Structure 1
C-alpha cells in the first residue's frame, strides 16, 4: 500500500512493553488524561475539532494539541447550522425564526472519536464534537444531537437499534467549471471507465492505488470497511460498513465520505456523493439496514423465540410505510436527489415491502432469525448520514409505539407505474411539515430549521436557468 506523507516524515513509533492499550488504540480514548498520552505518543501537533452541519459538511476549528488538552472552550456561531448548501440563510416563517442574538454554540469533544488525520503532511488528529448552548443545554437542532434524541427514545423502551449503511459514490474527472457535465475518470488501463461494471473485479482494479489509499486511510482511523464493490455506473463504487450502533455508524459514514474525497484528490479525481451526478447513469444510494435488539437480552425483537417474524417486525415496517413519504426530505435532501428517484429504475418511488425484492422501498433480505432486518432503499448518498438514520429509525419507532400494521408483502416488480413518494423537493418539505408526530420525535427546533433551509435551497435553485430550458424554450415558445 502507498505510504502517506506523515509516515515519510516520521518513522512509526515503536511499541514498548508497558505501553497502555489506550495509547495504541487507533480510535478513541476515555478521558482527557488518556487523550493527552495518546496525542503525545504520536507527536500530534494539531487537532481538528469538527462536527457535521445540516448538509453533513465538516465544520469546526483547528487548534494546537497543547491547547486542546487544556480543555479550552471552543465555540461556533449557531448560524452555521442554519445555512443552506450555497451559504445563504433562510427567511423566517413556517415556525422558523432566525435567532436575534446569533449566539454561539459550544463544541464538546467526544473523545471516543479521537483519531489521526492520515492524509495530512504534519501529525494531525481529529475529534468529533457535540454542540450545546452556553448554559449546557443540548442544541437539539444539530444533526448529531437529532440522531442521539431518536436513539434515546428507543432506550426508554429498553431497545437498541442496530444499523449498517451502504454508501455508493462516483469517481469523476476533475471538473472546475460547473457549466460542463461530469465525465468518468481514466483508470489504470488508460481508458475512460464505461458503465455496466456491476460487481466487476476488473472495474475495481482500475482504481487499485486509490482503493489502497482508501483502505490505508480507513485503517489508520480505525474505520471498518465490510466490503467494497464496483456498481453499475461508470466509475461508481460502493462501500458497505459493518453493522453497529447508529451514532457510531453515522460517525463512520461521515468520516468515510471525507476520507474517500481526500483519497480521490490525491489521485487527481473527484469523489462525489451527488445522488445523480451523470445523466444517463444510475444514481447513488445510501441503503440502510436496520434491526432492533432488546437491551437486556440482546435478542433481535424482529424474531420470535421459534424464529418466526414478530409483531414488532410488522409494526416497524408499518411505521415506515406510513411516515417515510413525510420524512423523504431527510433521505432526498436536494433538487438533484429526485433525479435518482424515478419510475422504472432501481431507486424506489414506492413504500411497498417484500422479501429480497429490490424494487420495493423496504426490502427484507434473506437471513437467519437473529439477523432479521429491514433495508431502507430510499436514501440517496447525498443525505446527511445522521439525519437519514434518525429519520428512518424514527419512522420505525412510531410504528412500534402505535402498533401500525403494514400492507401485505409484494413479490413482483412495483417500481413502474405507482408513484407513492413526492417527485420534488418542495412537495417533500410540505409533507414533512404536516407530520406532527414525526416532527415531535425529531425535535421541533430541528424540524422548523431544516424545513426553512430546504425551502430556501429550492428557491435558490429556481433562480437558475438550465440548458434544457435554453434548448427547448428559447426559440420554440
Structure 2
C-alpha cells in the first residue's frame, strides 16, 4: 500500500485514496494569517478535483482571523460579491492524520487571479526567483509556544485572565519536566513523524509551560508547509488533551516572547554545494552569504509587518527580551536580528531572528528569503557585524524597526523592493489587511486604560 509521503503525482493521489477505500478526504488552504481553512469532501469529488481543480469562496482571503470582513481590500469584498476562487490540490502534500481513522489530508493553494495574493504562491514565486538565480533555498523553522491547562471554554469563562500554565516557574531545558510530561511529548514527537514535520529538537524553554520545537530543515517550499502544519496540528493535539497551545508573540509581559526563527541557506543548483560556505573567508562566510545577509538587513524595516503581523507582535520587540529591536547582524550573537552561524558546508547558514511564532510561515519565509536574494542581486554589503550586546549599540535611522503595526504596514506599502519581489497585488492586499488589524485594535478599550484613567483623569 502506498505511503502518504510517497505520493508525488495526481495518479499517486488517486491510487492511495482508492487503495485505502477512503470515503472522504480532508483538504485545506492557508489564509493570509496562516490559518488552515478546509473541509471534508467525498472521494468522487476529490478524484475529479485532482484533474480539474476545485473552488473555495474567496472570502478566505477577505476576512481576518476572527472571520470579520475586510472593508479596505480591492481583490475581494462586498463589491465583488465574494465569488468562488480556483484552488489546486497539491498531490505531494498528502499526509495521514494520526487521530482520524483512515483519513488523508491534502494542502491546496489558490490558482488563477487569487494566486497573486495566496501566501503559498507568494513563497513559490520567491523560490522560482532563487532558482532562476542559480540557487536552491533550504530552510528550517523553529517555534516557541506556551501550553495551558485550559480549554476554549475555560479561557473565555476566565476572560483570558488567570490562566493555568502546563507547568510552573522558570526551568529551561528541563529534563525533569519533559520526563514528567513524557506521554504528551511522545504524542507530539509521534505526530510530527507521522505527518512529516519531523522535530529535530523539542525542549522546555524558560517560562511557565513554554516549549520550543525546532523542525528539521527541508527545501524552502516544504519547510513552510511543515511549519504551517506543525502550528495547526500542535493546537489540535493540545485541545485533544484538554490543553491549549498559543503561538501569540507575547501572551504576558512577565515572560519572554515567543519566537519563530528562520534558518536559511542556499545551495548551487549546478552542483548542490553550499553557496554560503567559504573556508577561506572570515567566519567561513562567502560573498554570497554576505550579500544575502545585507539584503535581509537592509530590507528588514520595510518587510517587518510580513514577519510581525499582529498588534501583539510589537510587544515582543523590546530590549532585553531575547528579541531584536533593530536590523542588526552578528556572528553567533543572539542579541542581533540576524545571526550568522558558521559551520561546515552542511551547516553554514543565517538565522532570521526577528520573526515571532505568530507569523504565517509562508509569508515570513518569503520575506526572509526574498530580501536576501535582493541583496545578492544588488551585491550589497552588510553593516559592520556587532559583537556584544546589540541592545546597547547605537543604530543609524535606516536600521531602526517600525514600532507599531500601522507604521510597519506603511513601510511595506511604500517599499519598491516589496513590490518588485512580491507584486503590487500582494503588497496592496497584505498592507490593507494589516491596516485593518490595527483599526480593530483602536476600537478596543483595554483593561490597562480603564485602570489607569477611569478614576483619576
Same fold (TM over 0.5): yes
Secondary structure of residue in 2 paired with 1:271: strand
Give the corresponding residue for 2:89: 109
User: Corresponding residue for 1:6?
Assistant: none
Q: Which structure 2 residue ranges, 5 or more long, are not aligned?
A: none
Distance in 1 (alpha carbons) for counterparts of 2:22 and 2:207: 40
1:244-393 correspondence runs (5 A): 244-304=218-278, 306=280, 308-393=284-369
Match of 1:169 among 117, 130, 145: 145
SS state at 2:27 partner: strand
Contact 1:165 1:286 in 2 (8 A): yes
8 Å contact kept, 1:107–1:131 = yes
Distance 1:68 1:92 in 2: 34
What is the CA–CA distance in structure 2 between the aligned matches of 1:436 and 1:96, rounded to whole Å?
Answer: 21
Partner of 1:38: 16
2:25 aligned partner:
47
Aligned-pair CA distance for 1:217? 1.9
Question: Once the 2 structures are TM-superposed, how far is the Cα of residue 61 of structure 1 from its aligned partner?
Answer: 2.9
Instruction: Point out the more displaced range, 97-106 or 320-329.
Output: 97-106
Q: C-alpha root-mean-square deviation of aligned residues, in Å? A: 2.0
The Cα of 1:130 is off from its aligned counterpart by: 1.6
Q: What's the CA shift string for 1:185-221, capped at 9, x where partnerless? A: 34xxxxxx22321111112223222221112222222
| Structure 1 residue 113, shift from structure 2 partner | 0.7
2: CA distance between counterparts of 1:273 and 1:34?
34
CA contact (8 A) 1:303 1:310 kept: yes
Contact in 1 for aligned 2:53/2:89 (Cα 8 Å): no
Q: Partner of 1:61 in structure 2? A: 39
Q: Which moved more, 1:98-107 or 1:324-333?
A: 98-107
Residues 182, 447 of structure 1: CA spacing in aligned structure 2 closer, same or farther, 3 A cutoff?
A: farther
What is the match of residue 11 of structure 1?
none
Deviation at 1:172, TM superposition (A): 1.3
- The equivalent residue for 1:443 is 423
Change (3 A) 1:309 1:222: closer
Q: Does 1:466 align with 2:442?
A: no
Instruction: Specify which of 230, 240, 244 is matched with residue 204 of structure 2.
Output: 230
Provide the rounded CA distance (Å) in 2 between the counterparts of 1:43 and 1:239. Answer: 35
3-state SS, counterpart of residue 297 of structure 1: coil
1:402 aligns with 2:381: no
Normalised by the length of structure 2, the TM-score is 0.92
User: Corresponding residue for 1:160?
Assistant: 136
Contact 1:91 1:452 in 2 (8 A): no
Higher helix share: 2
The aligned length equals 444
Partner Cα separation in structure 1 for residue 110 and residue 448 of structure 2? 43
| Matched position secondary structure for 1:27 | helix
CA distance in 2: counterparts of 1:180 and 1:102, whole angstroms: 33
* Equivalent residue, structure 2, for 1:92: 72
Which residue pairs with 2:191 in the alignment? 217
Q: Which runs of 5+ in 1 are unaligned?
A: 1-18, 187-192
Change (3 A) 1:85 1:314: same
Q: Distance in 1 between matches of 2:401 and 2:177?
A: 33
Instruction: Quote how far apart the aligned CAs of 1:33 are.
Output: 3.0
